[in-house]
Structures are given as structure tokens and as C-alpha cells.
Amino acid sequence: MSTGRKVIWGIVALILLIIIAGVFLFWRYPIAIGIRIERRELANAGFQKTTLQGPTPLVVWQAGSGPPLILLHGAGDHAGAWSKVAPQLTGRYRVIIPDQPGHGESAPKEGPLSLGTVLAGLNSAVEQCSGGQPVILAGNSMGAWIAMLYAREHPGRVARVVAVNGGALLGRTDVSLLPADREEARKVMALLRDPGSLQYPDFVLDDVVRSSRSGPIGRMLATGAEMKTYLLDGKLNEVRVSVDMVWGESDQLLSLDYARKMQEQLPVARLTTIPHCGHSPLRECPIAFTAALKNVLQQPPPEPNPAPVATSSEKKK
């Protein structure tokens, strides 16, 4: 065989080896590979990654100009969850996407993770990235919970809240977010997506089982007793900032009934639903969700609820 052919076959063999290695890594670590892809998408869209200093260093991605819009991911997720949506918003807003504490590249990297620590991270992002302007907070799942808590504590710093399939009420207690095996993971993930959407293959479900207990969700559930003190059941009328709820209708973890219960209790709230979409519409149906989010943000805030449900303390009066 000539030297030229040997070189060509050597290159072909190397390419095949790289492909095989890539396929193996994706099969073995699909969640980690997906995270890298989404974060690269943010970078390719012009988002700059910086680290905010404070009691808990926080990694944030920023791009665009205009009123500050902070996008908050859910538990166990990271800033890249917004990679299909955020680039469509930078023409109108200064978009700020933190890796919430204990998630993505933000500290703390290990140990129990309290909701108070996550809330403090949002406070750092607002103080260091808002330029002193009231911020728009849009959060998915736990991100919506954190947004409502922050708006309740700091109404003067928040222009409005967009809660995406999440909130500060107690949800289902019959679902474990720490599946013990593939079949448990399959049942949990089925609750999160529309039946017509592509379902997760077995190797992804296996990775969910491997990563959940040692990841942010497991670390947060280790502080479960403390987390209950941050629920706002019977206290939602203390959230005086206007709240838009954008909801995937197929969500079986936090259903439309959950959203309507929040709407009844909030002083200023409006519900927009997205058909054929589940708990994380920013990933499952990003085109429809982006259109809904843009539409909500371009509308005036909703009208006040004429009769929000009273808190327990008000009922006693």
C-alpha cells in the first residue's frame, strides 16, 4: 500500500474512532452532553458569561439591551435551558440568565442546597445586573417559585413576574423526583411532557436515575423541611406585583388546576395556556412558548383580581 493511501486510511480510522467515542459518550452521559450543547448555543447567540462575586459566586449569561429581563430555570437545570428562547428576546430586553446557586457552574458545588441560598442568588443578580431598574422575572418551575418569593419581598425592584408552569403553592406529594430505577424515571418524565411529544429513550432515563440523587434536586430535597417554610399557600395575595402565568396544558406535575388556584389567590394575575405542551415549554415547544412569552410581555399588566382568596389571617379578622 502506498504512503498516500496509508495516510488516507489513517485519517479515516481516526475519524471513525472519534465518531464512535462521541456516540459512546452521548449514550453514557446524555444529560452532560445536552448541557454542553445548550450552553454553547447561548455563547453562539452572543451571550457573555461572567461570574458575579458575593457570598455565593454566581455565573450569569447576558446579552441584549433594554429593560432587564431575568430568566430563571427550574430545579436541577441550568441557564442553557433558555437557549432556544433567550436569543429571540435580546432585541427588546437586556436578558440576564443565571445558573441559579448549586446549579450549572454556580456555587455551592456540594452539600445540602437550601431554597434560601437560591433566593439569595437571585438577589445578587438583581443588585449587580439590573442597573437600578425594576426587573422582569420570568421563571420556569422552581424558577417561578423563586420569582414570586422575591417579588413578595422586594415589590419595588420587580416590574412584573411571568410564572411558567411553576409557583409557590404545594404541588403533588405523590411523585418522587428521585427515581430509583428506569421505570420510575419513565413515569416521572411522562408527567412532564405531552403524550404526543417525543419521549425520552432508556439511556436518558438511566442517566436521570444516576444523576438525580447527587445533583441539585437531591441536594435541595435534603433540606425539604426548610423548603416548606417558603410555600405561600394562603399567602399569595401578599404578592403585589402583577403575575402572568404561561402554562403548558399537558403538565401533569403542576396541572392547570394548580395554575387556576394560583390565579384565584393572586391580586393581579392572568393565565395564558399552550396546548400540547408540558412542564417545560421552553424546551418542549420553544417556538409556541416564545411567541406566547413575547405576546404577554408586550401587553399591559393584567387587571387586578376583583376578589382574591383571603389569607388565613384575613379570614380570622
What are the extents of the domains in the chain?
Answer: 3-307
pLDDT at 114 over 50: yes
Cα–Cα distance between 117 and 98 in angstroms, integer? 14
Mean of pLDDT values over 120-128: 97
User: Model confidence over 223-264: pLDDT tens digits?
Assistant: 988 999 999 999 999 999 999 999 999 999 999 999 999 999
Helix (H, G, I), strand (E, B) or coil at 29: coil
pLDDT of residue 213: 79
The pLDDT assigned to 44 comes to 98
Task: Extract the C-alpha cell encoding 117.
Answer: 441560598
CB 156 within 8 A of CB 181: no
Please tell me which residue, 23 or 63, carries the higher pLDDT value. Answer: 63
CATH class, domain 3-307, is alpha beta
Beta strands in the chain (DSSP E): 48-52, 58-64, 68-72, 94-98, 135-140, 158-164, 243-248, 269-274
- What per-residue confidence (pLDDT) applies to 131? 94
Amino acid residing at 202: D
Distance (Å, whole) CA 25 – CA 17? 12
Specify the pairing of strand 68-72 against strand 48-52.
unpaired
pLDDT digit string (tens) for 265-283?
999 999 999 999 999 999 9
Q: What angle do CA 35, 201, 84 make, to 5 degrees?
A: 35
List CB contacts of 112: < 8 A, sequence separation 6 or more.
219, 220, 222, 223
pLDDT at 302: 83
Mean pLDDT of 20-34: 58
- pLDDT value at position 100? 98
> Cis peptide before 108, with omega less than 30 degrees from 0?
yes
> Which tens digits make up the pLDDT trace of 131-182?
999 999 999 999 999 999 999 999 999 999 999 999 999 999 899 889 999 9
- Residues 259 and 274: their CA atoms lie apart, in Å, by 13
Q: Which three cell numbers stand for residue 18?
A: 472519534
Give me the pLDDT at residue 26, please: 42
Cα–Cα distance between 208 and 31 in angstroms, integer? 8
Give the C-alpha separation, 81 to 70, whole Å.
Answer: 13
| pLDDT score recorded for residue 19 | 41
Q: Which of 47-51, 115-119, 311-315 has the lowest mean pLDDT?
A: 311-315
**pLDDT score for 42:** 98
Please, which pLDDT band fits residue 29 given cuts at 50, 70 and 90?
low
Q: What is the mean pLDDT of residues 39-64?
A: 96
Mean pLDDT of the chain: 89
How much is the pLDDT for 244? 97
Average pLDDT over residues 31-58: 94
Main-chain dihedrals φ then ψ at residue 308, nearest 5 degrees: -65, 150
For residue 71, give the C-alpha cell.
430568566
pLDDT digits (tens, 9 = 90+) for 202-229: 988 999 998 887 899 999 999 988 999 9
According to the model, what pLDDT value does residue 269 have?
96
Side chain identity at residue 46, one-letter code: G
Judge contact between 270 and 244, C-beta under 8 A. Answer: yes
Identity of the amino acid at 132: G
Segment 7-22, tens digit of pLDDT: 454 444 444 444 443 3
Position 72 scores a pLDDT of 98
How far are the Cα atoms of 27, 120, 127, 245 from residue 141, in angstroms, in the given order? Answer: 27, 18, 23, 11
- What does the alpha-carbon distance between residue 197 and residue 277 come to, in Å, rounded to a whole number? 8
pLDDT recorded at residue 4: 56
- Per-residue pLDDT, averaged over 179-186, amounts to 93
Q: Are 246 and 69 in contact (CB under 8 A)?
A: no
